[in-house]
């Protein structure tokens, strides 16, 4: 029989799973109570707690940091806004370094307000990543591009497939890889080949899980608990392992009406139980 506590140790809790109103301390204590081995804080939770206090809290709990969410959002309508985005990304790198995070997750951004120039936005993304990578290498932080489902191309991320992300990585060199999020890439007919490609290149930095509900009422905040939707998560985990990934399985569930209203212990008990099929 599998050692279930060992399985939970391979899970990481993305703080978004508890909803926007729970504090970092509640997330850390919840991980401890449920034997979850890692955490991926969003930056608003780090700001609320204070970065140094957050680092101490996480370290004292013995949790690994599977990532920091997030950097990115590079495309902007004017030079001043582009510079502000770069400065914010350098700060995100510093936060990831302070937490010894496995990576800084990059949600790269979509079209600037009023723009229809998707190719231009993608050029801005690559320029922004290149500049941030330069800084991140000096700080010892790895950047993980998270391709988002194409429905987000306009407003959140105009990098939408693993192939597109890995092409950028190939052009930019060392220190940059991908975060594979089941919700965003499960539909991709080229998924197996691109995960294998990322593994060969040593670019599999993070693995995020939740499930795709049918129907999905709200693509942003109606994500499913593992097992409640149509993604073959054990098969996906198999692809990740075959590609050499042995890191955390990070649970990231935006669920405004189903999960966020529930008590923390109900959410986390279910995360651990369902997570067994993913780790």
Chain residues that interact with Zn ion, rule: CB under 5 A: 181, 208, 252
Q: Give the count of beta carbons closer than 10 Å to the beta carbon of residue 96.
A: 29
Question: How far, in Å, CA of 36 to CA of 8, rounded?
Answer: 5
Q: Considering beta carbons, is residue 45 or 208 the nearer one to Zn ion? A: 208
Q: Considering beta carbons, is residue 206 or 272 the nearer one to Zn ion? A: 206
State the minimum distance, in angstroms, from the CB of residue 119 to Zn ion. Answer: 25
State the minimum distance, in angstroms, from the CB of residue 156 to Zn ion. Answer: 11
Map tokens 């997030």 to a residue: 70
Burial annotation 254-264 (CB, 10 A radius, 16+ → b, else e): bbeebbbeeeb
State the minimum distance, in angstroms, from the CB of residue 187 to Zn ion. Answer: 15
User: Is the backbone of residue 100 left (phi > 0), alpha (psi -120 to 50) or beta?
Assistant: left
State the minimum distance, in angstroms, from the CB of residue 208 to Zn ion. Answer: 4
State the minimum distance, in angstroms, from the CB of residue 117 to Zn ion. Answer: 26
Q: Considering beta carbons, is residue 70 or 82 the nearer one to Zn ion? A: 70
Contacts of 87 (CB under 8 A, 6+ apart): none
In degrees rounded to 5, what are phi and psi of residue 105? -75, 130
Q: Which two tokens stand for residue 165?
A: 């992300």
């Amino acid at each position: 029989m599998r050692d279930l506590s060992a399985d939970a140790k391979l899970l990481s809790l993305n703080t978004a799973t508890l909803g926007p109103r729970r504090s970092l301390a509640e997330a850390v204590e919840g991980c401890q109570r449920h034997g979850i081995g890692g955490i991926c804080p969003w930056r608003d939770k780090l700001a609320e707690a204070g970065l140094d206090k957050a680092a101490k809290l996480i370290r004292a709990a013995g949790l690994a940091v599977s990532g920091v969410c997030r950097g990115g959002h590079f495309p902007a309508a004017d030079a001043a806004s582009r510079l502000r985005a770069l400065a914010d990304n350098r700060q995100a790198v510093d936060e990831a370094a302070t937490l010894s995070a496995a990576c800084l997750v990059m949600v790269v951004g979509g079209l600037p307000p009023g723009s229809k120039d998707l190719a231009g936005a993608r050029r801005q993304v690559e320029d922004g990543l290149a500049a941030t990578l330069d800084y991140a290498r000096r700080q010892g932080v790895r950047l993980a591009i998270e391709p988002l489902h194409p429905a987000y191309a306009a407003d959140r991320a105009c990098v939408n497939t693993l192939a597109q992300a890995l092409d950028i990585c190939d052009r930019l060199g060392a220190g940059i890889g991908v975060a594979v999020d089941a919700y965003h890439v499960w539909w991709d007919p080229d998924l197996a080949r691109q995960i294998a490609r990322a593994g060969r290149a040593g670019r599999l930095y993070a693995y995020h899980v939740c499930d795709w509900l049918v129907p999905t009422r709200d693509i942003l905040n109606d994500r499913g608990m593992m097992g409640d939707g149509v993604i073959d998560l054990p098969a996906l985990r198999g692809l990740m392992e075959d590609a050499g990934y042995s890191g955390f399985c990070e649970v990231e569930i935006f669920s405004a009406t189903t999960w966020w209203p529930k008590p923390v212990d109900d959410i986390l008990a279910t995360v651990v139980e369902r997570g067994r099929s993913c780790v």
